Structure 1
């Protein structure tokens, strides 16, 4: 009996351990990250960036191909596989090449051709592919900065929605306690139905706002999870605090320095400059194409002319009488001019955008600095105190409702100012090609 009992206990423990293992192996459906951790995951997983990086690898392969010399060309022709008796009797005949029979009375020719590019076409083609690689690298940098700015802006948006949801839930908790207290007061005849229904209407309105805020948060979650390649059922939560450190404000950056950065480092300007170098390299290569290439050849002919074994040399080239590549040269020249105009246009556009974004940022920065964070942080305690004073009838319903709305508006103004500041800062980062 004792042995059977021990066996049952052992089996029961094993079953419990196996049953508990899957529960421990399950991953939580909420992923809590800081903004820095989220950005690192985004840079690692984003498919658009991975695809853009492959363009650089592609241009590296084209540089490798441009460095290759043209292959020589081997031609074997005029081979007679047999000779008739008549041909042998009436011809001179030919001795064997090897041994007693191999190649006897057989005719053939062998020619080896080698193309030699003139006017340094090979080197100029390599320069063109190097310029294309620089263009691909610049385009990747532009996409990286653009996606980083978009991603950081969306992180700020998600943080705003999180704060908004938390604020509305806080107000909902305060209001739920107040409604329960007001129901007891209504039963005792201490308040009117009109006042009670006004509080109930406020609670219903608040519930609708919370539902809308949750939908906006879900939308922000969807966009971020797409950029980070996260599973659809994961809930992303940002653990950063809502407040901005004062040192993050760009008050030490002058407009002139930002304009200089935009002229030198703006991604669109750099792409336009790289595109100009590509068009100049194409123009240089098209000009070189006017010069005909040379094809050197050496040939061996057995039994095809007055000499039994003939070895000759030659050269082949196009005669540029009709086609001197004028059309392609002209098209490449026009593209160079077009690229120059586009580069000037991109510089002008970037500087105008910097001026606009910088002025907007200064205005938002002034608004943010005028907000007393101590006042914002103490609003939670004040809301609870106002609710208690309303229940004690120290303040009227109208005063309570005014403060309730003012509390929400002030909090949302604070959160929205932070979101707008970070959005403008990322816009300036993108325009100046830096991380300010």
Structure 2
């Protein structure tokens, strides 16, 4: 009975371990929308970048704060010598004591700086521009992150599809090599044909290994982007669909896309905000030419002709030598500089959109004469050639030539699918628009 319990316990443990292992090896299947939702919720870099908004808001709060008042206490004598008592003037005692404080002296002063020329208001305006820039920086970061993420998925889909195609051909070729080995052992085929088949088999195996390495690397990048458990294996639904007409799926003109890019791109907004910030910086530097006023109130015990003297005062810098001319001139040059940089940015944006627009059209034209029926026919022809070769209806040269041509053609089509989607993402990125293609 005890042995049965032990065996049962071992069975449960082994079953649990095997189940846990199978769960860790499960593949997480996602479509593009699901993946992007996870990206926006989990990406650590994005979460960190969002804190820049809070940091900028904190700068606005700090800019609104008044300068702290200054308390100054001095002329405190901690002890009194007998000579000072004989020659000094006796003061009233402190804290109700008969003797304490009769020969104690102290003075204190509180000073408050009053900023003039609206410096505080201008500093707040400057901080608010920084907050708007932080928002634009976040939008620019998010746009770049989504573009990079999608292009990584497209690369993953390319290597995954290509690896599956190689795997199918590898299985088929392995069966042929095994059959040829038997025929060779029986003396029915020559060794040169067997060697060529084996060489092709090794070549496909080697290429398949490289594709799986590429998939492992891309899987790692995507897991990090999505902040998933480190043992997660990913797979994505096909994004590219040949049933679409792969030409511009909208009637947008180049000029329209360029104008929309100037309206929606975050880096254009940042460039224009840089002009605003430099202008507000100039206003602040001009205000700094006006001296601030310091108001003070002071108390003096034993150091004045009046007992327990309370007096008021003020101080102000006399702008004889420093009128902040250098900083003002520097800020003026900064405004001119930002205007030039903004002009250059607008030109860059227009040219980037033009380039991406043309690249997208070129990529789309590749599929003008390719449709789903062509690809299905190509796969069926490959299957037919394999059967013909098994039945010895065609020779090895014809079969191997078509196999190599088939693999090259499939790779070319998959590469152009990836290039098309990448060009579409670049067009989205450089226009700031979410351009959708028909499904």
TM-score by length of 1: 0.90
Moved more, 380-389 or 197-206: 197-206
- Equivalent residue for 2:61? 64
Matched, 1:96 2:99: no
What does residue range 183-262 of structure 1 map to in structure 2 within 5 Å?
Answer: 183-187=181-185, 189-230=187-228, 233-240=231-238, 243=241, 246=244, 250-252=248-250, 253-262=252-261
* Distance apart, 1:15 and its partner CA: 4.3
Deviations 1:161-211 (A, max 9, x none): 011111111111222222233334445555444333333332222222222
Equivalents in 1 of 2:185, 2:14: separation in Å?
52
- Equivalent residue for 1:20? 15
Moved over 6 A (4+): none
Deviations 1:36-78 (A, max 9, x none): 3333333344333233223222222221111111111222222
What does residue range 258-337 of structure 1 map to in structure 2 within 5 Å?
Answer: 258-337=257-336
Matched, 1:52 2:65: no
Matched, 1:109 2:107: yes
- Equivalent residue for 1:78? 75
Moved more, 215-224 or 251-260: 215-224
- Equivalent residue for 2:148? 150
- Equivalent residue for 2:431? 432
Structure 1's 70 and 429: CA in aligned 2 closer, same or farther, altered over 3 A?
Answer: same
The correspondence for 2:118, drawn from 114, 117, 120, is 120
Moved more, 71-80 or 191-200: 191-200
- Equivalent residue for 1:172? 170
Equivalents in 2 of 1:58, 1:315: separation in Å?
36
Moved more, 247-256 or 320-329: 247-256
* Distance apart, 1:115 and its partner CA: 0.8
Preserved CA contact (<8 Å) 2:243 2:372? no
Moved more, 341-350 or 395-404: 395-404
- Equivalent residue for 1:348? 347
Number of positions where the alignment pairs a residue of Structure 1 with one of Structure 2: 431
Query: Which blocks of at least 5 consecutive residues in structure 1 are unaligned?
Result: none
- Equivalent residue for 2:414? 415
> Helix, strand or coil: the match of 1:370?
coil
* Distance apart, 1:113 and its partner CA: 0.9
Query: Which blocks of at least 5 consecutive residues in structure 2 are unaligned?
Result: none
> Helix, strand or coil: the match of 1:368?
coil
> Helix, strand or coil: the match of 1:215?
helix
TM-score by length of 2: 0.89
> Helix, strand or coil: the match of 2:66?
coil
Moved more, 81-90 or 312-321: 81-90
* Distance apart, 1:336 and its partner CA: 1.6
> Helix, strand or coil: the match of 2:367?
helix
Q: CA RMSD in A?
A: 2.6
Deviations 1:229-269 (A, max 9, x none): 45555433324365366289642132122101211222322
Equivalents in 1 of 2:108, 2:26: separation in Å?
75
